[in-house]
Amino acid sequence: MSPRATVESDAPRRVLVTGGSRGIGAAVSRALARDGFDLALNYHSNTAAAEAVAEEVRAGGRNVSLLRFDVGDRQAAADALAADIAASGPYYGAVCNAGVRADAPFPAIRSEDWDRVLRTNLDAFYNVLQPLTMPMIRARRGGRVVVMTSLAGLAGNRGQVSYAASKAGLIGAAKSLAHELATRAITVNCVAPGLIETEMLEGANVEGLAAMIPMQRLGTPDEVAAVVSFLFSSGAAYVTGQTISVNGGML
């Protein structure tokens, strides 16, 4: 074992979940709370949804704080996270889930939409994780980082050049960070959902989409959350730098 390696601790553990108020993020928040983690739940605009998830977490006996900031705003993220760490101590882990899409054929992508997708999805990796990393290392308790990427980041998709670029970039960033943090017993992995029943698919032809999937159905947020839950478990302590697909066999 490396002399710098750290070991898991039984001390109370707190996890940051970005975009934790709806869809996959809400399912992840609930799953981690059931697994015994306290939460810092980030959201951007829907206060009612965030408070509803927080109430569920508290009803299950776990602590939760609500952090309202835009993950694409570097200073806002730094300020909110620094204040939360000062008040409650370093995080044991983080789930980078917040993201946006602005689908269009490449010739029609507006520059402002390109910038917004890359800023929210890819820049947020730095904005959120950079302020957390040294406090996690100094705590010497090990830890977990899970980055939500996408099938589009692995295989590409028509009309999603900006989205696919941002998600592919996250995979490269996570793999590199996994190398840097491995000796600290902090794992870094990606989860790549396929077509999942969330608000991002509202108005879509669900039957047509399901026909493209070998399992002939869309996935659920809880099925994605179950994989995140595994990556936070003691059984996943030797899993790092990986991308796990949850897509019904599409890739």
Task: Tell me which residues are annotated as active site.
Answer: 163
What is the C-alpha separation between 142 and 198, in angstroms, rounded? 32
Residue 207 CA to chain centroid, in angstroms? 27
What is the C-alpha separation between 126 and 129, in angstroms, rounded? 5
| Tokens found for residue 34 | 């059931």
Residue 4 CB contacts under 8 Å (≥ 6 apart), including other chains: 183, 184
8-state DSSP, 120: I
Q: What is the DSSP string of 162-195?
A: HHHHHHHHHHHHHHHHHHHHGGGTEEEEEEEE-S
